[in-house]
Amino acid sequence: MLTDVSYALVLGRPLIMWLGLATFTLLLGALSVVLLNTHAKMKIPFQWHVRLATAGMALAIIHAALGLAAYL
């Protein structure tokens, strides 16, 4: 059941690949907020780091569950 969802094609690629890319992008965004606040003259509110990291971790959990479901 979850394997069918994991490997459902979205724009010709499996859904699990798109979730992985979205997860990576969100976590990279959380990292960039910290780096821009410490090394650049920009000041981005810290709440954006928390929001991006929370969304990234939620997607990472879903991504991992779908990935592991294929082998269980």
Q: Average pLDDT for consecutive 10-residue bins of the chain (72 residues)? A: 83 93 96 92 91 96 91 82
Domain positions in the chain: 2-69
C-alpha neighbours within 13 Å on the C-beta side of residue 59? 19
pTM for this prediction:
0.84
Predicted pLDDT at 57: 96
DSSP state of 38: H
Sign of CA dihedral 41, 47, 51, 53: positive
Predicted pLDDT at 72: 81
Give 55's contacts (C-beta < 8 A, 6+ positions apart). Answer: 26
Predicted pLDDT at 40: 84
Of 52, 60, 58, nearest in space to 31 by CA: 52
Predicted pLDDT at 36: 93
Predicted pLDDT at 48: 94
